[in-house]
Amino acid sequence: MTEFWLISAPGEKTCQQTWDKLMAATTRTNNLSTNHKFSIPDLKVGTLDVLVGLSDELAKLDSFVESVVKKVAQYMADVLEDSRDKVQENLLANGVDLVTYITRFQWDMAKYPIKQSLKNISEIISKQVTQIDNDLKARASAYNNLKGNLQNLERKNAGSLLTRSLADIVKKEDFVLDSEYLITMLVVVPKTNYPDWQKTYETLAEMVVPRSSNLLFEDSDSGLFSVTLFRKAIDDFKHKARENKFTVRDFQYNEEEMKADKEEMTRLSTDKKKQFGPLVRWLKVNFSEAFIAWIHIKALRVFVESVLRYGLPVNFQAMLLQPSKKTMKKLREVLNDLYKHLDSSAAAIIDVSAVTTLPSAELILWTIRKH
């Protein structure tokens, strides 16, 4: 997991001096973090009232977009099922891994024109991600229904002989069919009780056909036996079989129904395979879109908060810090010392602005605030 801190500090005489000051304090002498400039273009500032309103709106939008990013990532893992090891290679942003995208972040002028107001840019992102969220719900619902129906059929054809479908086990020749008087029953017998079955099945009822039992199938615990008897003896046979720990399965051989079940499973399996590829591609594309939108929201928040706290003209440097777990405490102390002049309360200098966990990157984005 990779952790990042996104901070904004007011410009010295130049933003480069702000950057050099941070590098000197955190990297060149003590190697506390790996740092990257976080490039934010010259956005339209607007009025103070708009900025104050946007501060709250962007915080809510940030949380919403984060939730959509997580949902798309999680559903990708769900869809890939046994191939979850391939999740990471599918969760990219603009064709590169998430760490590379963040550390080399460049504003997408085509998607989010900087000539637009900050409000309009946030609305563009909101509409875009809302559409992704709605599409995800619709696609996930359709695919989950298909997958669920297939799993139900597969469960019917697996498991114990006591519960599983028998359609793929028995054959037409195993049954006496179209007889007014005779019927073939199917009985599940524990393997340990095979000798008892052979000794007693002919006497479980008065009208059992002698030597009519055949072993049709076995699993690890039991065997499926057929036995033929007169229809009028069915109830008595079931009762005596239960007393002897033999389980009679209610089953009627119907070739058309069995054929329909097999065709339905084939159809569902084929439909699932057809939908799998396009769904994974959609998830891959829209994870990228949502993640890119999310990092642009971060950039908007840094810009708005920095202007509100550092004032005009716009003069701040946004910087991305990548600490190691061992250096986090020391790094915070260094940042507090470096920027405590921005606030009379040193403990309030650094506020968490967002936290998220993703399959390939854990991002903790911070903003240095002047209260």
- The pLDDT tens digits of the residues spanning 172-200 come to 999 999 899 999 999 999 999 999 999 99
- Of 115, 71, 98, 94, whose CA–CA distance to 283 is shortest? 71
Distance (Å, rounded) from C-alpha 16 to C-alpha 212?
Answer: 94
Q: What pLDDT is attached to residue 94?
A: 95
Distance (Å, rounded) from C-alpha 147 to C-alpha 155?
Answer: 12
Tell me which CATH code domain 3-149+277-369 carries: 1.20.1460.10
Using alpha carbons, list the distances in angstroms from residue 275 to 90, 269, 320: 17, 10, 40
The answer as to CATH 3.30.465.10 being correct for domain 172-252 is: no
Q: What pLDDT is attached to residue 126?
A: 98
Using alpha carbons, list the distances in angstroms from residue 194 to 136, 149, 187, 214: 54, 36, 11, 12
**β-sheet bridge partners, residue 93:** 96
Q: What pLDDT is attached to residue 359?
A: 37
Residues of the chain with pLDDT under 50: 344-371
Helices 255-310 and 118-156 pack at an angle, to 10 degrees, of: 160
Q: Where are the alpha helices (DSSP H) in the chain?
A: 15-23, 48-80, 87-90, 98-103, 118-156, 194-200, 234-243, 255-310, 328-339
Q: What pLDDT is attached to residue 343?
A: 66
The boundaries of every CATH 1.20.1460.10 domain in the chain are 3-149+277-369
Q: What pLDDT is attached to residue 167?
A: 83
Q: What pLDDT is attached to residue 74?
A: 92
Q: What pLDDT is attached to residue 1?
A: 59
The boundaries of every CATH 3.30.70.100 domain in the chain are 172-252
Q: What pLDDT is attached to residue 88?
A: 86
Average pLDDT, the chain: 88
